[in-house]
Amino acid sequence: MASVFQLRRRFLCTSSKWKVKQVTTSNFEESLQEIKTHISSSDYVAVSMARTGSPSPPSWLRPLPFDTAQTAYSKARRAAHRFQVLHFAVCPFSVSHSDKLLAHPYNFVLFPRDELKMGMPAYSFSSQTSLLASMARRGFDFNACVYNGISYLSRAQESAAKVRLGAALPSLREVKSSSSPTVADTVFVERTRSRIKHWRKTFERSGTSTSRDEELINSLKNIVLGSEQFRSRPCMTIDVCSERQVQLILEMLVDHSDDLLPLLIPTKSGTTHALRIVLANSKEDKELLERELQNFEEEESKKIRGFREVIDSISASQKPVICYNCLNDCTLIHSKFIAPLPLEVDEFVSSLHSIFPNVLDINYLMKKHGTMRKVTNIPSAISYLNNNFFAPVDLEIPDQATVKEGKIHGLNALRLGYLFMKLCSILKISPNVTDSGNKHLAPELEDFTNVFHPCSPPIQDSSNAGDVGVWTNNTRKISCEHLVFLWGFNLGITAGMLKSLLRSSHNIFSREFDVKLVDKSCAIVVFWQPGVSKQFLDIMNSEEMSGDLKELVSNGLRVTSYETYDRICRLGLWEMDLRESLERALENSWCDEKSNCGTKSSEIHWYNDNVINLDDL
Amino acid sequence: MKHKLPTPSLSRAVARALCPATTTQCDSAFPSKTVTTANFEPSLAELRRHVRSSDFVAIDLEMSGITSAPWRESLEFDRSDVRYLKVRDSATKFAVVQFGVCPFRWDSSNNSFVAYPHSFYVFPRQEHAGLGPCDEFLWQTTSMDFLAKYQFDFNACIHEGISYLSREQERKALRSLNSTYDSEWSDICKLKDVRDMPLLSAADILFTARMKNKFREWRDGLLHEQNLEDQIQGDTGDSKFQEMFFEMHPALRLNGFTSHQLKLIQLVIRKHFKDLSYVSVNSEASNLQQLVVYTDSKDELNSLLKKVKEENHGAEKMKIQAAVGLRHVIDLLSSEQKLIVGHNCFLDLAHVYSKFIGPLPDTPEEFVTSVNKCFPHIVDTKILLNTNFMLHEKMKRSRKSLAAAFTSFCPQIAAGSTSSYPGSLSHVKVEVEVDDVRSSSWNPGGKHEAGYDAFMTGCIFAQLCSDLGIDYKLHDSSKQLALDEKLQNYVNRLYLSWMHGDIIDLSTGNKVGDSSPSYSLRKRYPKILFENIVIIWGFPSKLKANEVRECISKVFGPTSVVSVFHLDATAVFVQFSKTELVSDFLSLKNTLEGSDGALLVLHPLSKLLEGGNTCAANYGTYKEICGSPLSECLFADQVKAVGIKWKTKLPEFKIALGVEEHENPSVGNVNIAMETVKMTKPNTIDQLRNAPFRRQVSTHEVEDSCVAEANL
């Protein structure tokens, strides 16, 4: 390339000099073509996005250290559903032998504009004032976002939109030879075959006759019988009940492939509910129609998909995706660009796996590295690595000259790529392993792919906890059964005061236990010995309470097990205060006895990040 | 509809680009004062002056959205109480992004009104931790698009929008402040918080010892009655300790320590020094300061601490005062008791109430009486236009949107010049004054800019009053316009539900029937009897309204169903001809679902009940669901989210049979022929949804268009 502008920063990383191409509606088309080629020639794709909100302390809706994979996922699901993404940074990069990084960073400004006037992609969305204000401080241009942001539709929304637009897809599906037909199949095929035959006959007859009267009669007949037309060619619609029947009809139509073109009419859920069979004048006419439809569909789809084209091409490339927080980013991507998020984390993980087979979590990689525990964001991680390690990374960003001057956003994706290279170099991992010409992930890195764990600062960092002093930094693995939620105490009490209050209330608290405030009105109690929490819950439910504990309960102290917490996350009983949610769950519990929220992963790491590996599930 | 009039406000865009900061000096553009955090204080002072001398004040709001879900849009089947619940939902979830205030004063020397249009950018930021409006609010995508179409400056709004505290929030903040004030020396002597910490590390032990020496030296130095000047001279070497006098007491200011170190210092002071005390001061003049102060006696210490405490308290109070922000404007309007003029302003008032006064009450009656207490005189130009026969005649042909009314009643102002228009004498003259510059000609302003909308509203009102026979020349400025008997039929009346002509009297809370000519026109459409209505949801998604009607008519007779109306894709209202049919239908549904599948397959209702998820209830349930704070996009999902688990809400007298039982449908697998979904003309709901809400921000047009659709 003639205008290659090389950036070599061996020892210092001043990311302020980096430029990222900003993409809005005006330059989307050309940038899309560019990035598609870059993605296909890259080794990795780093992504990063800015959202309009994310739960933060003191809200209990933020990821907490005692969340299981399921509860953490439920919280991420809520946030992904509620909030909007305003810009999406994508940085495909490739790595050469000498640790040279070739990056193509882009930042797409998004706005969920309702292009089709259908209330999609988002009828409304929530935003946090504090987050918007901090974006404003960093110079984010909201006018550019609303005026010129690129819209999109998720895959699920696209198929729903197509149904409502009445655009039928030509069936491009291959006709596979299916398993041996049953009797019902044969009957169905024969019935359909004869229907089509009769239908064709009417046109053959009308084709031969030239009398005007007959034409008039025919058109009247068409109106009366409800004959349809598709692009000025006659067509008929056949209802189907299953994909199997679709297959059968397609197989049958192979014999008539000269002039009959079958089109699938999809339902909202993406399945087919009917087939439209179009009768073309000739073989050439059929091909013409096919091409016409394909072009039309391409154009329409482009308009409909918008930014999702980028996601689709990342997905199609099957390249490893790098993000900073897998759970947050992937739930957001799934809910905005693929389909609404399923209720269960397992379903989500497998659904995501089909889109991005390898997702690398940089945050997790850094934590595993050990010394990086306290780093909370990407720029500080980079400066930490620069200050403490000698790990030169040669970064080259072509096309820098073409980037217009102005505010640069979406640097984080580029930084992620850079950070990844540095980490690989420090950890002595080769980013690529070439095996008979095919590049694939190093086995060391595979341990860090598809890890969906809640990323939260360790609980001892929260402000109200600093003065308790009973918490050690030791990681202790405990079962969820050891945890009890407690609320109904006086507001403003500290965890230490609550602990001493409990200790003096009943002799069950003579055993080793700890107390932690979750939010201002609710605390979590951990009993280190097995079975004690059960005992405590039993005592709280029995009549034989006495003394101070009885006094506390009379004043409104309530307890419940971890299972209730699990349930509120599943059911989405998101109240501002955790105690309100817990109370609601307890009120409702009588009507769904059947909920067997099997705690598949009831083990959590107290104080540690809760890591659940995709492949273990 | 305002937005249908094609007036591309290019001139305004250019004007804004040229003069982004405050006023538009350019002769051409409409002069309006834009207020942000940068110029809020002086603008408020100025506005105060204008409001005091004004005859009335017009207001207008731009919001971040109108409806949180499609089914929450204003519908034909909304009873007035349901309508209120929808308004309440909107006002609590969305934010005000721009607030237009325009005082109007009669200038007798010029025989014209002088208007002072102001547009305040609003953004509900949290200025201080825990002090401020709720952190989360909703945006409606189409509203943002609509605002963007009229060149709304989102950057100005988010960067420099003025924040606010409602009266309720201020009261709460003050209460919690006072409670900490009453509790013991909480903030000053942080000693209470610091329990004995075991000195864990060698660093802590060394640091503590060093601090002990340091303070001892300093204290001893003081006691040796050395010249304090010398002391200060001698000690400047260490920037961490700054010698000073605090309230006439010698003190050391601690700079640059970590909170952990400060804790250790507190411990040292408490343990080893009786005559030194650790004080944390948070005064207006200086920011948070950590001091070690020397006092001679316990009494002296106590009086010092008391003083510090009061000062800290005062500073906190000032912070709260500063956070009140935009509410000062509302307080001003309220305390001056001026006549407030709005156009179709029920939602606007709900926003004003929820943002600046407190949480919205449960019923419309409570709401209006509370509003009346704050704003004793409110007039809605829409009421004036509709209930006055003469004015109605004049407006007959055009629609009653703000911009349309403006052009038809004040053509000379709308055209942009008050002087050159060869209009009749009956036209009220209005001049605009911004920053003491009077102008009487301008290019037509930008619609949907709150200041300009407020200006239009005020102009219409001034003209309407003149048409009603109010002579401003004879009008005594000391006499309130709001009390003029010619206006008595219009003041303090608001449309609660425009479609049903429900007008509510703000001063009494009573509903007043609409006797307006426009309402009598609408009367020929059948009145909706809410007790005859069943709401059905969760039925097969391809079922259309006429199929539902057909299905029910087969069972209850061809005349049983008066109308079927789609709430959204997942729910319909069915209005029966008789009230009994409601309970008959619900019980039949319940019985059918209780029975085995065979009976159901043959039954005409099977089409409706197919899938086994069809639920039905009476109108009360609809109200209950509208009152929920949740907003799912589809009605059926909303019901699920609200936590309703039954499938049929049986009428009250049959409740003993058990409402919650039939959860187990045995009719899942009925295989029926699929419907062909062709491109049909959009049914009612599609039109309703597609027409007005794409581009809306203010509600002015919502009801108009809904009625228009309903009347098709």
pLDDT (tens digit per residue) in A309-337:
999 999 999 999 999 888 999 999 999 99
User: Taking CB atoms and an 8 Å limit, are A129 and B195 in contact across chains?
Assistant: no
User: How confident is the model at residue B393, as a pLDDT?
Assistant: 65
User: How confident is the model at residue B56, as a pLDDT?
Assistant: 93
User: How confident is the model at residue B147, as a pLDDT?
Assistant: 92
User: Taking CB atoms and an 8 Å limit, are B141 and A123 in contact across chains?
Assistant: yes
Contact criterion met (CB below 8 Å) for A171 and A44: no
- Closest chain B CA to residue A494: B193
The mean-pLDDT minimum among A46-55, A72-81, A382-391 falls in A382-391
Residue A402: pLDDT band (50, 70, 90) is: low
Q: Is residue B692 less than 8 Å (CB to CB) from chain A?
A: no
Q: Is residue A213 less than 8 Å (CB to CB) from chain B?
A: no
User: How confident is the model at residue A291, as a pLDDT?
Assistant: 85
Q: Is residue B183 less than 8 Å (CB to CB) from chain A?
A: no
Q: Is the dihedral of CA B499, B502, B504, B505 positive or negative?
A: positive
User: Taking CB atoms and an 8 Å limit, are B679 and A166 in contact across chains?
Assistant: yes
Contact criterion met (CB below 8 Å) for B665 and B612: yes
Minimal Cα–Cα distance from A379 to chain B, Å?
24
Indicate whether A378 pLDDT > 80. Answer: yes
The mean-pLDDT minimum among A612-616, B503-507, B614-618, B641-645 falls in A612-616
Q: Is residue B70 less than 8 Å (CB to CB) from chain A?
A: yes
Q: What is the dihedral of CA A439, A444, A449, A452, to 10 degrees?
A: 180
Contact criterion met (CB below 8 Å) for B574 and B548: yes
Contact criterion met (CB below 8 Å) for B170 and B319: no
Minimal Cα–Cα distance from B148 to chain A, Å?
6
Q: What is the mean pLDDT of residues A454-471?
A: 33
The two three-digit tokens of residue A477, written as one number: 């693995």
Q: What is the mean pLDDT of residues A484-503?
A: 84
Q: Is residue A591 less than 8 Å (CB to CB) from chain B?
A: yes
User: Taking CB atoms and an 8 Å limit, are A125 and B138 in contact across chains?
Assistant: yes
Which amino acid would we find at residue B5?
L
User: How confident is the model at residue A495, as a pLDDT?
Assistant: 81
Exposure on the CB side of residue B681, measured as CA atoms within 13 A: 1
Residue A228 CA to residue A491 CA, distance in Å, equals 70
User: Taking CB atoms and an 8 Å limit, are A124 and B133 in contact across chains?
Assistant: no
Instruction: Quickly list DSSP for B140-177.
Output: EHHHHHHHHHTT--HHHHHHH-B-B--HHHHHHHHHHH
CA A67 vs CA A64, A455, A562, A565, A613: distances in Å = 5, 10, 10, 9, 15
Could you say which of A142, A237, A588 has the minimum Cβ distance to residue B155?
Answer: A142
User: How confident is the model at residue B679, as a pLDDT?
Assistant: 33
Q: Is residue A184 less than 8 Å (CB to CB) from chain B?
A: no
Count how many pairs of residues, chain A against chain B, have C-beta atoms within 8 Å. Answer: 114
User: What architecture does CATH give domain B2-165+326-521?
Assistant: 2-Layer Sandwich (3.30)
Residue B354: pLDDT band (50, 70, 90) is: very high
User: How confident is the model at residue A147, as a pLDDT?
Assistant: 92
The two three-digit tokens of residue B549, written as one number: 């009607």
- List chain A domain ranges: 15-153+307-446, 169-293, 459-616
Residue B195: pLDDT band (50, 70, 90) is: low
Q: By three-state DSSP, how is residue B376 classified? A: coil
Q: Is residue B691 less than 8 Å (CB to CB) from chain A?
A: no
Which residues in chain A touch residue B676, judged by CB atoms under 8 angstroms apart?
A: 237, 239, 274
DSSP letter (8 states) at residue B501: T
Q: Is residue A306 less than 8 Å (CB to CB) from chain B?
A: no
Q: Which residue has the higher pLDDT, B40 or B600?
A: B40
Q: Which fold has domain A459-616?
A: Alpha-Beta Plaits (3.30.70)
Give me the percent of chain B exceeding a pLDDT of 70: 73
User: How confident is the model at residue A174, as a pLDDT?
Assistant: 55
Q: What is the mean pLDDT of chain B?
A: 76
Indicate whether B569 pLDDT > 90. Answer: no
User: Which of B127, B131, B135 to mutate to test binding with chain A, by most A CBs within 10 Å of its CB?
Assistant: B135
Residue A213 CA to residue A46 CA, distance in Å, equals 68
**Residue A305 CB contacts under 8 Å (≥ 6 apart), including other chains:** A152, A153, A158, A312
Which amino acid would we find at residue B685?
I
Q: What is the mean pLDDT of residues B528-548?
A: 85
User: How confident is the model at residue B395, as a pLDDT?
Assistant: 62
User: How confident is the model at residue A355, as a pLDDT?
Assistant: 92
Q: Do domains B2-165+326-521 and B530-672 have the same CATH topology?
A: no
Most confident of A362-376, A595-609, B430-444, B564-578: B564-578
* Superfamily of domain A15-153+307-446 in the CATH hierarchy: Ribonuclease H-like superfamily/Ribonuclease H (3.30.420.10)
Residue A188: pLDDT band (50, 70, 90) is: confident
The mean-pLDDT minimum among A267-281, A429-443, A586-600 falls in A586-600
DSSP letter (8 states) at residue B668: T
User: Taking CB atoms and an 8 Å limit, are A142 and B643 in contact across chains?
Assistant: no
Indicate whether A589 pLDDT > 80. Answer: no
Q: By three-state DSSP, how is residue A478 classified? A: strand
User: Taking CB atoms and an 8 Å limit, are B139 and A84 in contact across chains?
Assistant: yes
Q: What is the mean pLDDT of residues B584-599?
A: 80
Residue B170: pLDDT band (50, 70, 90) is: confident
Q: Is residue A463 less than 8 Å (CB to CB) from chain B?
A: no
Q: Is residue A139 less than 8 Å (CB to CB) from chain B?
A: no
User: Taking CB atoms and an 8 Å limit, are A117 and B690 in contact across chains?
Assistant: yes
Q: What is the mean pLDDT of chain A?
A: 77
- Closest chain B CA to residue A570: B641
Q: How far is CA B668 from the centre of its chain?
A: 45
**Residue B436 CB contacts under 8 Å (≥ 6 apart), including other chains:** none
Residue B83 CA to residue B87 CA, distance in Å, equals 6
Exposure on the CB side of residue A27, measured as CA atoms within 13 A: 14
Q: Is residue B641 less than 8 Å (CB to CB) from chain A?
A: yes
Helices A155-165, A283-305: axis angle to 10 degrees equals 130
User: How confident is the model at residue A609, as a pLDDT?
Assistant: 35
The pLDDT tens digits of the residues spanning A229-258 come to: 777 777 888 887 777 788 888 888 777 667
**Residue A197 CB contacts under 8 Å (≥ 6 apart), including other chains:** none
Which amino acid would we find at residue A378?
I
Give me the percent of chain B exceeding a pLDDT of 90: 22
Could you say which of B136, B142, B148 has the minimum Cβ distance to residue A127?
Answer: B136
The mean-pLDDT minimum among A43-47, A182-186, B451-455, B508-512 falls in B508-512
Could you say which of B67, B136, B679 has the minimum Cβ distance to residue A126?
Answer: B136
- List chain B domain ranges: 2-165+326-521, 190-311, 530-672
Would you call A510 exposed, middle or buried from its count of C-beta atoms within 10 A (0-12, 13-18, 19+)? exposed
Residues 43-62 of chain A whose Cβ lies under 8 A from any Cβ of chain B: 52-53
User: How confident is the model at residue A63, as a pLDDT?
Assistant: 81
Contact criterion met (CB below 8 Å) for A581 and A568: yes
Q: Which fold has domain B530-672?
A: Alpha-Beta Plaits (3.30.70)
Indicate whether B683 pLDDT > 70. Answer: no
Indicate whether B589 pLDDT > 70. Answer: yes
Residue B703 CA to residue B495 CA, distance in Å, equals 10
User: How confident is the model at residue B237, as a pLDDT?
Assistant: 52
Q: What is the mean pLDDT of residues B510-525?
A: 58
The mean-pLDDT minimum among A439-443, A601-605, B379-383 falls in A601-605
Residue B697: pLDDT band (50, 70, 90) is: very low
User: Taking CB atoms and an 8 Å limit, are A132 and B153 in contact across chains?
Assistant: no
Minimal Cα–Cα distance from B89 to chain A, Å?
14
Phi, psi for A320 (deg, rounded to 5): -65, 135
User: How confident is the model at residue B595, as a pLDDT?
Assistant: 74
The pLDDT tens digits of the residues spanning B133-164 come to: 678 899 999 999 999 988 899 999 999 999 99
User: Taking CB atoms and an 8 Å limit, are A241 and B671 in contact across chains?
Assistant: yes
Q: Is residue A243 less than 8 Å (CB to CB) from chain B?
A: no
Q: What is the dihedral of CA B74, B80, B81, B87, to 10 degrees?
A: 40
User: How confident is the model at residue A473, as a pLDDT?
Assistant: 40
The pLDDT tens digits of the residues spanning A85-119 come to: 999 999 999 887 667 889 999 999 999 998 888 88
DSSP letter (8 states) at residue A510: G
Q: What angle do CA A356, A359, A362 make, to 5 degrees?
A: 155
User: How confident is the model at residue A310, as a pLDDT?
Assistant: 94
Q: Is residue B167 less than 8 Å (CB to CB) from chain A?
A: no
Minimal Cα–Cα distance from B693 to chain A, Å?
9
Q: What is the mean pLDDT of residues A18-42?
A: 90
Q: Which residue has the higher pLDDT, B88 or A206?
A: B88
User: How confident is the model at residue B185, as a pLDDT?
Assistant: 46
User: How confident is the model at residue A104, as a pLDDT?
Assistant: 92
The mean-pLDDT minimum among A436-440, B118-122, B373-377 falls in A436-440
Indicate whether A457 pLDDT > 80. Answer: no
Helices and strands (H, E) in chain B, number of each type: 27, 21
The pLDDT tens digits of the residues spanning B59-71 come to: 999 999 999 988 8
Residues 535-594 of chain B whose Cβ lies under 8 A from any Cβ of chain A: 541
Contact criterion met (CB below 8 Å) for B581 and B588: no
Residue B659: pLDDT band (50, 70, 90) is: very low
Indicate whether B19 pLDDT > 50. Answer: no
Instruction: Quickly list DSSP for A94-147.
Output: EE-TTSEEEE--EEEEB----TTSSS-S-SEEEEEHHHHHHHHHTT--HHHHHH
User: How confident is the model at residue B689, as a pLDDT?
Assistant: 38
User: How confident is the model at residue B105, as a pLDDT?
Assistant: 92
User: How confident is the model at residue B707, as a pLDDT?
Assistant: 36
The pLDDT tens digits of the residues spanning B275-312 come to: 888 888 776 656 677 888 888 888 888 888 888 888 88
The mean-pLDDT minimum among A143-152, A253-262, B85-94, B654-663 falls in B654-663
Q: Is residue B669 less than 8 Å (CB to CB) from chain A?
A: no
User: How confident is the model at residue B137, as a pLDDT?
Assistant: 92
The pLDDT tens digits of the residues spanning A535-578 come to: 888 888 887 777 788 888 888 888 898 888 988 888 888 888 88
Q: What is the mean pLDDT of residues B519-546?
A: 75
Indicate whether B85 pLDDT > 50. Answer: yes
